[in-house]
Amino acid sequence: MNYRHIYHAGNFADVVKHAVLTLVIERLKLKDAPFRVIDTHAGIGGYDLGSEEAQKTGEWRTGIGRLIGPDAEPLPAPAAALLAPYLDVVRALNPPGEIVRYPGSPRLARALLRPQDRLIANELHPQDAVSLRGAFARDKLTQVMELDGWVALKAQLPPKERRGVILVDPPFEAPGEHDRLVEALAEGARRFATGIYLLWYPIKDVAQIRAFKRRLAATALPKLMCLELMVREPHDPRQLNGSGLVILNPPYELDAALAVLMPVLADRLAIEGSGRWSQEWLTGK
Domain ranges within the chain, ordered by starting residue: 5-281
Mean pLDDT of the region 253-275: 94
- The pLDDT of residue 129 is 92
- The pLDDT of residue 148 is 87
Q: Encode pLDDT of 72-83 as tens digits.
A: 999 999 999 999
Between strands 276-281 and 224-230, the pairing is antiparallel
- The pLDDT of residue 5 is 79
Q: What kind of fold does domain 5-281 have according to CATH?
A: Rossmann fold (3.40.50)
- The pLDDT of residue 7 is 77
The single-letter DSSP state of residue 43 is T
List, as one string, the DSSP characters of 72-104.
Answer: PPPPPHHHHHHHHHHHHHHHHTS-TT---EEE-
Number of helices and strands in the chain (H, E): 10, 10
3-state helix, strand, coil in the chain (%, to 5): 40, 20, 40
With a cut of 50, say whether residue 1 has pLDDT above it.
Answer: no
Q: CA angle, corner 246, sides to 243 and 250, nearest 5? A: 125
- The pLDDT of residue 3 is 56
Distance CA(176)–CA(183), nearest Å, equals 11
Q: Encode pLDDT of 53-109 as tens digits.
A: 888 888 999 999 999 988 899 999 999 999 999 999 999 999 988 899 999 999 999
Cis peptide, bond prior to residue 76, ω within 30 of zero: no
Select from 268, 257, 271, 269 the least CA-distant residue to 279.
257
Backbone φ and ψ for 123, nearest 5 degrees, come out as: -150, 125
Average pLDDT, the chain: 93
- The pLDDT of residue 81 is 98
The burial of 95, by beta-carbon neighbours within 10 Å (0-12 exposed, 13-18 middle, 19 or more buried), is given as exposed
Q: Encode pLDDT of 131-146 as tens digits.
A: 999 999 999 999 999 9
Distance CA(104)–CA(200), nearest Å, equals 14
Give catalytic residues, as residue numbers.
169
Task: Say what the pTM is.
Answer: 0.95
Q: Encode pLDDT of 155-200 as tens digits.
A: 899 999 999 999 999 888 778 899 999 999 999 999 999 999 999 9
3-class DSSP assignment, residue 62? helix
How many CB atoms sit inside 10 A of residue 275's CB?
A: 20
Distance CA(235)–CA(217), nearest Å, equals 26
* CB 122, CB 166: distance < 8 Å: no
Mean pLDDT of the region 16-27: 98
- CA-to-CA separations, 77 to 189, 274, 282, in angstroms, rounded: 36, 21, 31
Q: Please give the share of the chain, as a percent, with pLDDT higher than 70.
A: 98
* CB 270, CB 89: distance < 8 Å: no
- The pLDDT of residue 285 is 65
Mean pLDDT of the region 30-58: 91
